[in-house]
Amino acid sequence: MQSLQNQNLYLPTGLQTQQDISFENGLIKEIKLNSNQSNTENTYLIPGFIDLQIYGAAGKLFSAEPNLDSIRTIEDQLLQEGTTGFLICLATNTPDVFNQCISVIKEYRKDARNCMGLHLEGPFINPEKRGAHVKEYIRKASLDEIKQLLDFGDGTIKMMTLAPELQDDEVIQYLLDQNVVVSLGHSSATFEQATAAYDKGIPTTTHLFNAMSALQHRAPGIPAAVFNHPTAMASIIADGLHVDFEVVKIAAKMLRERLFLITDAVTECNSGPYQHHAVNGKFVMPDGTLSGSAMTMLQSVKNCVEHCGISLLDAINMATFNPAKLIKKENEIGQLAVNTQANLVRINEKLELQQVFFRGAEIKLN
């Protein structure tokens, strides 16, 4: 059994100092007070980050290079950044590309480490709010298509972003019945339509404020529906470019534990329909449309603390415990607790990455 002595631990409820944490066989076995010595080290152990929407890393955009080498490279890079759980995301694309990507994840899952499955962002979205998505690939879903897609996915499709105002209720209900996390996004839904979708069981919202009906004083739109709903959650991209930091601050005050961070990160890509180019700290499409972010999860947390007035505890929960709750894995990942995976990240007072453990094994940082 491995043990880290006299640590400062961030639990979902707050900071606990002078703690000994022990882990064995990839799981946390014990957390107890160390009463013998005071802790003068200014570092903190927090859970490994969980990113439910990321497209690629380290020069590998998964949809452009759907192969085993790509997903291994992405996993390696994200472990280096402290992301110990993620869903690899696919933007609206052709059925052939979706099938290729699904096939790779199915083949790889027996060897997967921090990749937990797929998030399909489209193609069943609203073309009015497509953002950087390719219009020609957007379509309405049929129940037969969804059944075939999930059958082929064989449990690898964990999350799907869609526009509920354009989809039949039977399609949405089937996805929910199959335990797919349905997320309202790339949508022109009215306040009433979005509220109805949440009431019917859609649990969350994709990148709040981006590619959706706006919050206006006579047309409250999707953001107001999320704010006013008792259970609906939302992800947000906290890079200051996709959403102004002042608006992130408002969202955090309104949603509290219902808000979680995603990077929506892409990587440089010069082939296929999604060619992302880095320009002044952001990624854009060839026509200049803002695409995914150039951010890590730790940078997201740091932005929340330094620019949005969000406490470190809340920012950590937004990157760990809150997304784990959404996917119903909070008893496995997303918090430092007995019998959860020993996925730990050490940060210092400047919120710099110091150390990463994945399932109890230390990751050698480059």
Active-site residue list: 264
DSSP H helical segments within the chain, as ranges? 68-80, 95-108, 143-153, 169-177, 191-199, 221-228, 245-255, 297-307, 312-319, 321-326
Q: Give the whole-angstrom CA distance, residue 96 versus residue 174.
A: 23
CB-neighbour burial class of residue 83 (10 A; exposed 0-12, middle 13-18, buried 19+): buried
Contact 116, 86 (CB under 8 A): yes
**What is the residue whose two structure tokens read 């790509």?**
70
CB-neighbour burial class of residue 176 (10 A; exposed 0-12, middle 13-18, buried 19+): middle
The β-bridge partners of 83 are: 49
Contact 163, 185 (CB under 8 A): yes
Please, what's the b/e burial string for 95-122 (b: 16 or more CB within 10 A of its CB; e: otherwise)?
Answer: eebbebbbebbbebeeeebbbbbbbbbb
CA count, 13 A, side-chain hemisphere, 9:
26
The DSSP output letter for 293 is B
The DSSP output letter for 138 is -
Contact 104, 67 (CB under 8 A): yes
The DSSP output letter for 277 is E
